[in-house]
């Protein structure tokens, strides 16, 4: 079939993107779903910081590529052998579509599936296929097995989770990345318990979902930290007990002073070195520093080895919130239904494909939390 898509043809172009247009809106060809694959119509796709860092060339990707990795969609066609979803079903998409067979999948950790890792680097689906091409026949790479900045996508069956029809698809879209990553870091990676304290460094879409999750858990103290005073205000209104403005040298000392030497669990979601350094600096003895923000591919973090040992520190990564999505997305949607994961607060408006470059200018300026692309109007 033929459809419209935003094709990323160059990484690292200067801003403003509204003028340099790293993504061009093109008519492209999408092949029908092969065995184990499904065709979905994109209802909503969030503009996420990790898309922005791909545009900025923080992580090189094979080009041309269609990015977009957080969304909700309607199944339109299923390939041979697909079970569990049928045309008309509403789904949330997963940027790690697990294979179910590798050593990580069989241990219950589909979020770090080896096959997904391999196919992501190759710009293919886990099946090895590329289903996208330009009108002149040139293949277009898939992004994380999804490529949602388009009217339709062909993805693996395991890259979607069926959801109830009455959940608004615009809200459901956020569960595909921001909610799983942020709330999952709190529920799964940190396993935060009622009364415990947590600090959140970075208050974008992921950080705010970590905040909602910390409130839902019943955290005793929630310390929110960001470089934007406006986001701190929001965090305070949404349940943070303490807020600190990052960006000056005194921030770490101020947090340590206010917390009797540091916080037991610190979750960093900004994906920058200053953010991770701050997170580590405010972690208490015996505490955990959890990093959930995707950084530049070459960024390296250093720490005092002696302190790691004598203070019994932990530094942990959290990818896709350590989620088992087929288990966790229904649980998280249950919390959403009860108003405990109020993701609708994060929506900053809707855009069409034509505005996508401008949308990333806005995200880069820090003016918005989550814009939702509606590629089908």
| C-alpha distances in Å from residue 342, one per residue of 89, 153, 178, 190, 338 | 23, 28, 12, 21, 9
First CA to last CA distance, the chain: 18
Of 51 and 197, the one with the shorter C-beta distance to Zn ion is: 51
Token pair 């009860």 is found at 338
Residue of 30, 94, 102, 140 interacting with Zn ion (CB under 5 A) = 102
Of 155 and 177, the one with the shorter C-beta distance to Zn ion is: 177
Rounded least distance, CB 88 to Zn ion, Å: 27
Rounded least distance, CB 170 to Zn ion, Å: 16
Q: Which of 247, 205, 210 is nearest to 226 (CA)?
A: 247
Helix (H), strand (E), coil (C) string for 153-200: EEEEHHHEEEECCCCCHHHHHHHHHHHHHHHHHHHHHCCCCCCCEEEE
Rounded least distance, CB 128 to Zn ion, Å: 14
Where in 147-186 is the site for Zn ion (CB under 5 A)?
177
Q: Which two tokens stand for residue 168?
A: 């608004």
- In degrees, rounded to 5, the angle at the alpha carbon of residue 209 between the alpha carbons of residues 225 and 169 is 145
Per CB under 5 A, which region of 9-17, 70-78, 316-324, 368-376 contacts Zn ion? 70-78
| C-alpha distances in Å from residue 329, one per residue of 110, 294, 351 | 14, 21, 25
Residue of 13, 47, 99, 185 interacting with Zn ion (CB under 5 A) = 99
Strands 263-268 and 283-291: parallel
Residue 146 in contact with Zn ion, rule: CB under 5 A: no
Rounded least distance, CB 176 to Zn ion, Å: 8
Binding mask 32-61 for Zn ion (x = CB under 5 A): ----------------x-x-----------
Binding mask 294-323 for Zn ion (x = CB under 5 A): ------------------------------
Residue 113 in contact with Zn ion, rule: CB under 5 A: yes
Of 38 and 116, the one with the shorter C-beta distance to Zn ion is: 116
Binding mask 213-252 for Zn ion (x = CB under 5 A): ----------------------------------------
What does the alpha-carbon distance between residue 145 and residue 141 come to, in Å, rounded to a whole number? 9
Per CB under 5 A, which region of 95-103, 228-236, 277-285, 328-336 contacts Zn ion? 95-103
Of 99 and 255, the one with the shorter C-beta distance to Zn ion is: 99
Q: Which two tokens stand for residue 293?
A: 């923000």
Of 102 and 243, the one with the shorter C-beta distance to Zn ion is: 102
Is 57 within 8 Å of 288 (Cβ atoms)? no
Residue 132 in contact with Zn ion, rule: CB under 5 A: no
Give me the helices (H) in the chain, please.
17-20, 49-55, 103-106, 114-122, 169-174, 180-184, 205-217, 229-237, 251-258, 273-281, 305-310, 325-337, 356-364
Per CB under 5 A, which region of 96-104, 158-166, 186-194, 229-237 contacts Zn ion? 96-104
Number of residues that bind Zn ion (CB under 5 A): 10
Is 92 within 8 Å of 161 (Cβ atoms)? yes
Rounded least distance, CB 159 to Zn ion, Å: 12
Report the interface residues with Zn ion, using CB under 5 A: 48, 50, 70, 98-99, 102, 105, 113, 115, 177
């Amino acid at each position: 079939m033929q459809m419209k898509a935003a094709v990323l043809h160059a990484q690292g172009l200067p801003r403003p993107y509204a003028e340099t247009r790293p993504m061009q809106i093109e008519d492209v060809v999408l092949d029908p779903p092969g065995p184990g694959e499904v065709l979905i119509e994109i209802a909503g796709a969030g503009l996420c910081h990790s898309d922005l860092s791909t545009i900025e060339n923080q992580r090189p990707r094979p080009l041309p590529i269609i990015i977009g990795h957080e969304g909700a969609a309607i199944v339109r066609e299923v390939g041979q052998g697909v079970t569990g979803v049928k045309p008309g079903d509403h789904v949330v998409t997963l940027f790690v579509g697990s294979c179910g067979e590798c050593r990580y999948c069989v241990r219950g950790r589909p979020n770090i599936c080896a096959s997904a890792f391999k196919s992501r680097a190759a710009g293919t689906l886990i099946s090895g296929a590329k289903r996208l091409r330009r009108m002149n026949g040139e293949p277009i790479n898939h992004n994380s097995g999804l490529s949602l900045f388009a009217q339709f996508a062909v993805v693996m069956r395991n890259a979607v989770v069926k959801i109830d029809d009455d959940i608004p698809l615009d809200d459901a879209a956020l569960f595909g990345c921001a909610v799983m990553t942020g709330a999952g870091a709190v529920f799964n990676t940190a396993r935060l318990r009622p009364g415990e304290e947590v600090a959140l460094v970075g208050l974008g879409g992921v950080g705010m979902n970590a905040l909602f999750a910390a409130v839902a858990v019943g955290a005793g103290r929630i310390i929110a930290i960001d470089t934007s005073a406006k986001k701190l205000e929001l965090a305070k209104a949404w349940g943070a007990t303490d807020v600190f403005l990052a960006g000056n040298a005194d921030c770490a000392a101020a947090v340590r002073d206010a917390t009797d030497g540091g916080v037991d669990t610190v979750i960093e979601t900004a994906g920058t070195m200053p953010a991770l350094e701050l997170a580590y600096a405010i972690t208490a003895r015996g505490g955990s520093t959890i990093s959930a923000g995707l950084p530049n591919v070459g960024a390296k973090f250093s720490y005092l080895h002696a302190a790691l040992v004598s203070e019994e520190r932990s530094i942990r990564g959290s990818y896709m919130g350590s989620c088992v999505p087929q288990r966790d997305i229904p649980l998280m949607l249950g919390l959403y239904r009860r108003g405990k994961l109020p993701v609708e607060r994060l929506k900053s408006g809707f855009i069409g494909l034509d505005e996508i470059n401008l949308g990333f200018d806005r995200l880069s300026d820090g003016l918005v939390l989550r814009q939702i692309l509606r590629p089908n109007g």
